Amino acid sequence: CMSASGFSELSLTFGLKNSAGNYLTAETFGFRVNAASKTLKKKQIFTLEEQGGKKFLRTHLNRYLTFKSDGKVQADADARGEDEAIALVGAGDGKLLIRTERGFYLGGNGEAIDAFTKKAEPDRLWTLQLAIHPQVCLRSVVRKRYVHLSKDALTIDEDIPWGSDAMITIQAYDDGRYSLIADDGRYLSETGALMAKADDSCKFMLEFAPGDMNMVAFRGRNKKYLSGVGAAGGLKATKDPVLPADGGEPGPGRDELFVLEDSQPQFKLKNVKFMKFASVRASVEILCNQPEAKDSEYFQFEINPATKQWSLFTSQRKFWSCLPDGSIQAITERAKRGPNEWFTVGWQGPRLTLTASNGKLVTAKPNGSCYATETVPSEESQFQFEIINRPKLVLRGEQGYVVTLPSGALECNRSIGEVFTMHVSKGFAHIASFNGKYWVVNNDKDRSVTASGAQPYPLMLEFLEHSKLAIKAEVAPGEFYYIQGHQNGGFFATGRAVDASTLWEY
């Protein structure tokens, strides 16, 4: 669903890890349920659904976990009913109990999974690990504003999440705790300080609002919850748990609750001919007339998943529109967006083109005005594009997250992702790993991609689906390949086309 600002709230997907460190798994064949995997992949990811005040766990096969009267657990229900309903019960220290309608707790290990005891034994305790992409926007439920980096603090005082400062990375740890990382790579401490490295004060338990799993709270080691302090809403862990009106377990109050929302891609666009940025600084007219880029020169690209067309949203909360005379102006509100607000993007290495609803290319005139009047591509209709709200990058493919090994090799089949650094210059992306080395495509037979470069290596990005991109490398003059993930974790520049193996959730 959409928030008031038009940003998408994220569906709650997660893995469940038991006391033995194994994830609950819905097998593809036979709809069996076990807890035998040490890694969080597709079969270990569940989506929480609610209906009539009851909760259900949907598997990767779009079936539901079902709990039989004899305690057996299967993942074969194609509809939600009494046998599929559960309650998630907080058990302290971030652990959960999963209780069926019959009052039994789900638990066990290996192939021995059942729901046939009413005692909260250790093997009934689960740690929830978020499976959403970890780069999000955080909206305060009470303040109705967004968290962003403001000098040396994270504050809740941004009306819409605009620019890189509003992107928060949620770093997961094996013990079920999480860190909040600002766009400059610093970690939030429970004191409100931003730290260069994460210590224990920077790790928080994730808890959910009673009755609304779309709202989350972060509890520090001091047992207090993060909330906004003062007029600017500086984030600190200062709030104690409160007792709910129904007498249940103490938990977060409304002030401590946040909603996780998509961090959608925002770009600056520099016209290739005139080398000026597209802007709405001076008027509603799109003008390529600014030598520097700030909020008025950032545009959020929002994709229509069905048509793969894009609409361009401004910091003034208006969409680009193609008028009858072909002029491009930012005048349309979200509720009134129609065919004239959608553009087809042509990804051309470090450049892009925009084709308007009239079938013509958006082209800059000598005075900076933009009109969709041309059919023949030219430098006037090409724009260098640079994404501005991913200075830190986390990538997930169909096999898992991308990480750097101690050798510098990159693998793409891990349960927890690495936070890479990305700098985009003149349309080319330069990506670096935790070892300080840049990604490079090697000249070996596999065209392996490793974090071993002393100098930036130019990579090209294509944004092709909602929250997914492809990464292209020029391995020889005029010879281009996409970076491709393999089931064994291999990460090579071998892709000739865009498919599931060459698309990366960012």
CA dist., res. 401 & res. 396, Å (int): 4
pLDDT of residue 4: 44
pLDDT of residue 415: 84
Q: Could you give the 3-state DSSP secondary structure of residue 52?
A: coil
CA dist., res. 329 & res. 342, Å (int): 13
Q: Could you give the 3-state DSSP secondary structure of residue 452?
A: strand
Nearest 5 degrees, angle CA 409-CA 410-CA 413?
Answer: 135
Closest CA to 188 of 162, 169, 208, 207: 169
Q: What is the pTM of this model?
A: 0.87
Contacts of 464 by beta carbon, 8 Å cutoff, 6+ apart: 308, 347, 470, 498, 503
Could you tell me which residues are beta bridge partners of residue 98?
Answer: 88
Tokens of 213: 């799993």
Closest CA to 451 of 466, 428, 434: 434
Please say whether the beta carbons of 12 and 129 come within 8 A. no
CA dist., res. 431 & res. 161, Å (int): 24
Closest CA to 396 of 35, 132, 118: 132
User: What's CA 277's distance to the chain center, in Å?
Assistant: 27
Q: Where are the beta strands (DSSP E) in 193-286?
A: 194-195, 204-209, 212-219, 225-229, 234-239, 258-262, 266-271, 277-279
pLDDT of residue 3: 54
Other Cβ atoms within 10 Å of 478 Cβ, number: 6
CA dist., res. 407 & res. 416, Å (int): 18
Contacts of 338 by beta carbon, 8 Å cutoff, 6+ apart: 332
pLDDT of residue 10: 62
Closest CA to 154 of 206, 205, 194: 194
Each of the 506 residues of the chain gets a pLDDT tens digit; together they read 445 455 556 667 899 999 999 999 999 999 999 999 998 888 999 999 888 778 899 999 999 999 999 999 999 999 999 999 998 887 777 788 999 999 999 999 999 999 999 999 999 999 988 888 899 999 999 999 999 999 999 999 999 999 999 999 999 888 889 999 999 999 999 999 999 999 999 999 988 886 676 789 999 999 999 999 999 999 999 999 988 776 667 889 999 999 999 889 999 999 999 999 999 999 999 999 999 999 999 999 999 999 999 999 999 999 999 999 999 999 999 999 999 999 999 999 999 999 999 999 999 999 999 999 999 999 999 999 999 999 999 999 998 999 999 999 999 998 889 999 999 999 999 999 999 999 999 999 999 999 999 999 999 999 999 899 999 999 999 999 999 999 999 999 999 999 999 999 99
pLDDT of residue 6: 53
